[in-house]
Amino acid sequence: MGSRSINSGGKSSVWAGLALLVSGARAIAMPDGHTGKVPSLGWNSWNAYHCDIDESKFLSAAELIVSSGLLDAGYEYVNIDDCWSMKDGRVDGHIAPNTTRFPDGIDGLAQKVHALGLKLGIYSTAGTDTCAGYPASLGYEDVDAADFANWGVDYLKYDNCNVPSDWQDEYVACIPDASTSGPNGTCTSANTPNLAPPGYDWSTSKSAQRFGAMRDALAKQSHEIVLSLCIWGTADVFSWGNSTGINWRMSGDISPDWDSVTHILNLNSFKMNSIGFWGHNDADMLEVGNGDLTVAETRTHFALWAAMKSPLLIGTDLSQLSQDNINLLKNKHLLAFNQDKVYGRPATPYKWGINPDWTYNSTYPAEFWAGPSTKGHLVLMVNTLNNTVTKEAKWHEIPGLSAGHYEVRDVWSDKNLGCLSSYKAAVAAHDTAVILVGKKCRKW
Name the catalytic one among 159, 169, 282, 431.
159
CA atoms in the 13 A half-sphere facing the CB of 443: 5
Q: For the chain, report the end-to-end CA distance as a whole number of angstroms.
A: 39
Distances (CA, A) of 336 to 59, 119, 333, 340: 27, 21, 5, 6
Burial class for 107, CB neighbours closer than 10 Å (0-12, 13-18, 19+): middle
Catalytic annotation present for 357: no
The DSSP bridge pattern shows strands 155-159 and 432-440 to be unpaired
Rg (CA), the chain: 22
Catalytic annotation present for 52: no
- The answer to whether 244 touches 4, Cβ cutoff 8 Å, is yes
- The answer to whether 277 touches 25, Cβ cutoff 8 Å, is no
Rounded Cα distance, 23 and 276, in Å: 8
Residues 6+ apart with CB under 8 A from 82: 46, 50, 51, 123, 130, 131, 132, 134, 159
CA atoms in the 13 A half-sphere facing the CB of 210: 30
Give 173-222 as a DSSP string. Answer: ---TTTS---GGG---TTTSTTBPPTT--GGGSHHHHHHHHHHHHHHTSS
Give 131-157 as a DSSP string. Answer: TTS-B--TT-HHHHHHHHHHHT--EEE
Name the β-bridge partners of 308.
Answer: none
Name the catalytic one among 253, 257, 317, 410.
253
Select from 426, 50, 36 the least CA-distant residue to 215: 36
Rounded Cα distance, 346 and 329, in Å: 18
Name the β-bridge partners of 437.
Answer: 377, 408
Give the residue numbers annotated as catalytic, written as ranges: 159, 253
